[in-house]
Structure 1
Amino acid sequence: MFRAVFCTILLTFSVLSLSASEYQLKSPDGKVVVAISVGEQLGYTVAYNNNEVLDFSTIAFEFVEAAPIGKEFTVLDSKQSTVDETWKPVLKRYDEIRNNYNSLVLYTQESRFPKRLVNVEFRAYNDGVAYRVEFPEQFAGRENTMTDELSVFNFADDFTCWSADYKNYVSSQETEFWKKKISDITDKMVTGLPMTIEVADNCYAALTEADLTDYAGMFVKPYSKAGKFALRSDLAPLPGQPKNGNKVVFKFPHFTPWRVLMLGETPGDLVESEIVQNLNDPCEIEDPSWIKPGISAWDHWWSGEVKMEQDVILQYIDLASEMGWDYMLIDWQWYGMYNQPKADITTPAEQLDMPAIFKYAKSKNVKCWLWMYWTDVDRSVFDAACALYHKWGAAGIKIDFMDRSDQKMVNWYHRIVTTAAKHQLMVDFHGAYKPTGWRRTYPNLMTREGVMGNEYNKWSLCMTPEHLCTLPFTRMLAGPMDYTPGGFLNRMPDKFRNGTPANVMGSRANTLAQFVIYDSPYQVACDHPDNYRGQTGVEFLKKVKTVWDDTHVLNGKIGEYITMARRSESDWFIGAMTNSEDRKLEVALDFLSEGEYKMTIYSDTDETPVHGEAVAEIEKVVKKGDVIEIEMVAGGGYAAVLESVQ
């Protein structure tokens, strides 16, 4: 799982001490420059590709029991190092991930009483900057209640950004990422992360967090005290607390999450980045071989309402078997009414014979996942429930409607995932907060929602082509998203209507492309078996993967279009989507290996603007260096599989 190449070596070239309290840290390629100052305040600036990204941005904390931390620091010691290593992810977009950064740790102490110790580590990667604060062991046994973290992000100008307003700290984090100026963000908003920023033509950034452990999830809000275009951290309050109430309760020692500024020359560079995972600890599951990515059939709550009956479940198991998919997801009401005091997640509804269902699934080479409401899980003896699911032969669990990211809920997520891992169960969180890379440490955490996904086609008009082309550059930067693609009742935007069974906005080729573009090692296909059988594009869904050996963003513009290429062993898959404009793109197949490939293409046709399900299936032979033309209608897409014929 892990191979170290070169790590922890004293730097004399990447960290320059300018004075007793000023330091400069550069990325290995020299494009990222962080200037750090420790004295009256603890702060830093960031530049990338000769562009000023952050002006002086400070770090501070406020507590119930003691004076704020944030002023008059003395540096007691410092540690400079570099790390260059590779590791093999279980849930992969690349066969190997390189973790290469230069680090500076500053050991500081307040200059005045109570002279608390505060350590801060900065890391400069080629694809971003991150820092976290450590409150080391001191004042033994004392409990600390943090009311505010003042991590400031003082942007150098009124840059264009894409951000989500969740309206409330208690939410499923499902909404659009709107294009705006930083100055358009108001104190009334609950602005979630990631937030993507266009700094210059050759500089894009995204603000997020990594390794969220025993801490509150972070939002951002304006902070005029630091500058006209400054934002600051805004932590989710503990349950029952007002927004300015208690946020984090801890004892020393304790770490904050990493505050992350992803950086790249193009929007696609942000999509390709693995900085969020790199900032998490290595895998703690000794043998993760039981963790199996794959596609799942899903009973038809989405396309025709729940019918929690034995024959319906078997129907979807049959679909998974026919398609060669690994899984079938048994959704809500399998244990009867949910979110009730007497709800029991170990007792199936009376109309279901659960042992028979799992026996049938096994005979079809399919494994089942089980849905449950989080409050029912919380009331259960969860360890015993997991043991029962493992005995049944369940592959994983989908837990829903948490709708919080406060410290208590963050710790609850961790308890659920680690307990599930003991019983070899994978996990999918819905009604969830954004990922923070913890799937590196516990890769049985396959995916999560926290995204305005396909189900919104059922009751809203929000699933626009623009939204679909924005998600890869915003929400997906944090990690996998259970968007639940695969709706085959395709309607173009001008003909789309809400209803049951649910239509999806966009062309059939657009739907196929989502399986390539949207990251989710556990990919849940949303439609009814009858809507797949005999349809063009089904063969693509039998071949497409959910994890990859290589990933390339070939082109893209936030909210407008994207083309991605993914490799699985020797075969490649291409997916492209466009917004509400017709689009032609040329793509060079420079990423291929030598030799010929049979390319099967699924593309929009002249009929697609009228009939969204119209899709052409074309075969051709291509080789490395060829240039292909991708044509998409408004709201359309393009998908292809390239199979080596060597």
Structure 2
Amino acid sequence: MKKRVLILCGLLLCAYQASSQTYEVKSPNGRIQIKVNNSNKISWSASLNGNLIIENAEAGMDFSSKTNFGLNPKVKKQTVKSVSQNIHAVVPIKESEIKDEYTELSITYQGNYKLNFRAYNDGVAYQFVDEAKEKRNVISEKVSLSFPNGSRSLFPQEESMYSHNERLYLDKSLNEIASKDFCSLPVLFTTPKAKVLFTETALHDYPGLFLKGNGNTTLNAIFPKYVLEAVDKDGKSDRVQTITKEADYIAKTSGNRAFPWRVFIISDDDRTLVSSNLSYQLAAPNALKNTDWIKPGKVAWDWYNDNNIYGVDFKAGLNTETYKYFIDFAAANKVEYVILDEGWTKSTTNILDFNPAMDVKELIRYGKEKGVGIILWVLWKPLDQNLLHILETYKSWGAKGIKIDYMQRNDQYMVNSYEQIARECAKLELLVDFHGAFKPAGLHRMYPNVLNYEGVRGNENNKWSTDITPEHTVTIPFIRMAAGPMDFTPGSMINKQPKNFAISFNNPMTMGTRAHQVAMYVVYEAPLQMMCESPSTYYKEQETVDFITQIPTVWDKTVVLHGSVGNYIVVARKKGDKWFIGGMTDADARELSIDLSFLGEGNFSMEVFSDGINAEAFAQDYKKEIVEVNKNTEVTAKMASGGGWSAIITKK
């Protein structure tokens, strides 16, 4: 009898939904709910614990011909399914095995398209799928997001869509974001009941999304137009272009395809913004059969420190002797790679030949002899003009990868260029680091040889600005890093408190303590992780180097212990049988308790790198100690202003 009642209730519910064209779906734990309404348009909302977080959002797409998605939508059918599976990460940025669990509502519409909504325990996402097979142009996409009154944003405001997407996060009420103001992704919203991190993934053959204000609590998507012509700025630039002709559409499409996922991490706990894998989970799966050759690791990097080698008997600079010194340092400290940054090529446009003072083939040979791989920096524009030949040439020399710079766009052509570079490099077994880039948008899962992206205001900005404050460095893990790997380039050994900081292009320094920089190696996710300081300085700070080089760049498991956007963060990560903890704070000194219950049974040795007693005055002061702990030990991470705390835990 009970079973019949349940079936009848289900039939009544289906009849109600068919009449009202309103559908609901909940996350596996029931905390997050999506409601989709179909009337003269498609609108949706998301709630957390019954509190409306995203309201009256709209989704649609306009095309040059045939059916426009979301215009007077007519539902043909809808299905709901629950999925629980594991994703094996080829390059484990947070963890090697990812629990992929969600409830999916799939709505098929007349006009050969459907809309998939997924509800996860840590957020929601949606994606349009075109099931027609017709060539046409995408005129625009409707992504309209409305938030409750009183909502704010940490807004990475842009001046132009032609941008490196390296922004500060402006704290603004949504009512302050005018119609002329727009931002790149990811972007964070704070509602009265939860935070929402908005980004996109599975971005293929389509332009990247920007979000503009309206002077109220609603924001709308805008996109770069399809580029018809781009020329060198002033007819002579090697890296900056002027877009002279644009189409009246944003993309060309041949139909029968899925469009990018619109991703919303939703939580009332800031730690979720760091622990979430949604961008990776929703990305296209690995396309490579053989991935054994992909080796993450650390990189000794030259450009930040301006090749400032000292205490040697040769003139430092862009020459073979200097880079052999870099290679010797990397080999002595088990650093996997050295980058040859700007200056190794004969010119910035002639990238098939090298600077006469640098024997690049000899450096690659020497590096191989020492067990150190060489990665070559290139400008995107000349690379794009002769991609295959240039890549094949670098491979024939023995290079291990490339670092591509100055893309500065994310229109459809540029998005396709990223994928072409990743694909062709994979064929040649070359690693990829996208610098001067837009945020990660899933390509690194499809092509795991893509190990890193910039798209962040990182340490290099210390060479010309005062922007990289401790507040900034404890903001980006919650926003930019939610999209994927982050080439912030940590590792400075010249550390100052803000009152002692000075801008120096040739001898840069960082704000915050030494322990703050060291903690970045645990907190910041970057499978290809830079060591930005001069090897000569590192040799003088060998104790710090010895600690840093023990820290992996990929992880089996991640646990976020503490987190408050722009204030502090403490992350524990496991690799093999060791645990690593990294903590960072803003300008406020803090003491945070560290719960070691994740250790399990047994006794452990904990090597700690923390702020020294005088770090408030002399930021390079640190303390290193080894203590015995177990899962019940009470540990406190004491951090100075702009400080940090790190630990390496080994079972005894």
Say whether the fold is shared (TM-score over 0.5).
yes
Secondary structure of 1:524 counterpart: strand
Matches within 5 A, 1:607-646: 607-645=614-652
2:281 to 274, 278, 289: 278
Q: Measure, in 1, the Cα distance between the counterparts of 2:221 and 2:174.
A: 14
- Say whether 1:143 aligns with 2:136: yes
Which residue identity does 2:225 align to in structure 1?
P
Which residue matches 1:302?
A: 305
2:452 to 428, 447, 451: 447
* Residue pair 2:250, 2:412 contacting (<8 A) in 1 also: yes
- Say whether 1:565 aligns with 2:566: no
Matches within 5 A, 1:520-599: 520-535=526-541, 536-599=543-606
Which residue matches 1:70?
A: 70
Which residue matches 2:226?
A: 238
- Indicate the percent of aligned positions where both proteins have the same amino acid: 32
* Residue pair 1:166, 1:173 contacting (<8 A) in 2 also: yes
Q: Measure, in 1, the Cα distance between the counterparts of 2:162 and 2:619.
A: 37
Provide TM-score, normalisation by structure 2. 0.91
Q: Measure, in 1, the Cα distance between the counterparts of 2:249 and 2:343.
A: 36
Which residue matches 1:401?
A: 406
Deviations 1:88-133 (A, max 9, x none): 1022111201111111211112xxxxxx333111111111111111
1:468 to 473, 477, 495: 473
Matches within 5 A, 1:204-603: 204-223=195-214, 228-239=216-227, 240=243, 245-304=248-307, 307-338=317-348, 340=349, 343=350, 345-380=351-386, 382-499=387-504, 500-535=506-541, 536-603=543-610
Which residue matches 1:193?
A: 185
Of the structure 1 ranges 408-417 and 297-306, higher mean CA displacement relative to structure 2 is found in 297-306
* Residue pair 1:40, 1:72 contacting (<8 A) in 2 also: yes
Secondary structure of 2:191 counterpart: strand
Q: Measure, in 2, the Cα distance between the counterparts of 1:67 and 1:642.
A: 59
Q: Measure, in 2, the Cα distance between the counterparts of 1:508 and 1:422.
A: 40
Displacement of 1:223 in angstroms is 4.7
Q: Measure, in 2, the Cα distance between the counterparts of 1:188 and 1:304.
A: 42
Displacement of 1:392 in angstroms is 2.3
* Residue pair 1:51, 1:200 contacting (<8 A) in 2 also: no
2:165 to 167, 170, 173: 173
Displacement of 1:65 in angstroms is 5.0
Which residue matches 1:5?
A: none
* Residue pair 1:26, 1:32 contacting (<8 A) in 2 also: yes
* Residue pair 2:297, 2:529 contacting (<8 A) in 1 also: yes
* Residue pair 1:147, 1:244 contacting (<8 A) in 2 also: no
Q: Measure, in 2, the Cα distance between the counterparts of 1:304 and 1:439.
A: 30
Deviations 1:517-575 (A, max 9, x none): 01100001101011111324121112011001111111111111111111111111111
Q: Measure, in 2, the Cα distance between the counterparts of 1:489 and 1:49.
A: 47
Of the structure 1 ranges 472-481 and 242-251, higher mean CA displacement relative to structure 2 is found in 242-251
Q: Measure, in 2, the Cα distance between the counterparts of 1:127 and 1:244.
A: 38
Displacement of 1:501 in angstroms is 1.1
Q: Measure, in 2, the Cα distance between the counterparts of 1:529 and 1:219.
A: 40
| Alignment coverage as a number of residue pairs | 615
Of the structure 1 ranges 410-419 and 570-579, higher mean CA displacement relative to structure 2 is found in 570-579
Which residue matches 1:113?
A: none
* Residue pair 1:579, 1:635 contacting (<8 A) in 2 also: yes
Displacement of 1:67 in angstroms is 8.1
* Residue pair 1:16, 1:24 contacting (<8 A) in 2 also: no
Q: Measure, in 2, the Cα distance between the counterparts of 1:456 and 1:408.
A: 28
Q: Measure, in 2, the Cα distance between the counterparts of 1:126 and 1:325.
A: 38
Which residue identity does 1:204 align to in structure 2?
K
Displacement of 1:68 in angstroms is 5.3
In structure 2, do the counterparts of structure 1 residues 302 and 234 end up closer, same or farther at CA, with 3 Å as the change threshold? farther
Displacement of 1:85 in angstroms is 0.9
In structure 2, do the counterparts of structure 1 residues 303 and 489 end up closer, same or farther at CA, with 3 Å as the change threshold? farther
Secondary structure of 1:59 counterpart: strand
Of the structure 1 ranges 448-457 and 346-355, higher mean CA displacement relative to structure 2 is found in 346-355
Matches within 5 A, 1:87-126: 87-92=87-92, 93-109=94-110, 116-126=111-121
Aligned Cα root-mean-square deviation (Å): 2.0
Which residue identity does 1:598 align to in structure 2?
S
In structure 2, do the counterparts of structure 1 residues 330 and 615 end up closer, same or farther at CA, with 3 Å as the change threshold? same
Displacement of 1:200 in angstroms is 4.2
Which residue identity does 2:277 align to in structure 1?
E
Which residue identity does 1:638 align to in structure 2?
W
Displacement of 1:143 in angstroms is 2.4
Which residue matches 1:19?
A: 17
* Residue pair 1:303, 1:526 contacting (<8 A) in 2 also: no
* Residue pair 2:148, 2:192 contacting (<8 A) in 1 also: no
Which residue identity does 1:256 align to in structure 2?
F
In structure 2, do the counterparts of structure 1 residues 634 and 303 end up closer, same or farther at CA, with 3 Å as the change threshold? farther
Q: Measure, in 1, the Cα distance between the counterparts of 2:38 and 2:432.
A: 42
Which residue identity does 1:257 align to in structure 2?
P
Please list every run of 5 or more consecutive structure 2 residues that lacks an aligned counterpart in the other structure: 1-8, 228-242, 309-315
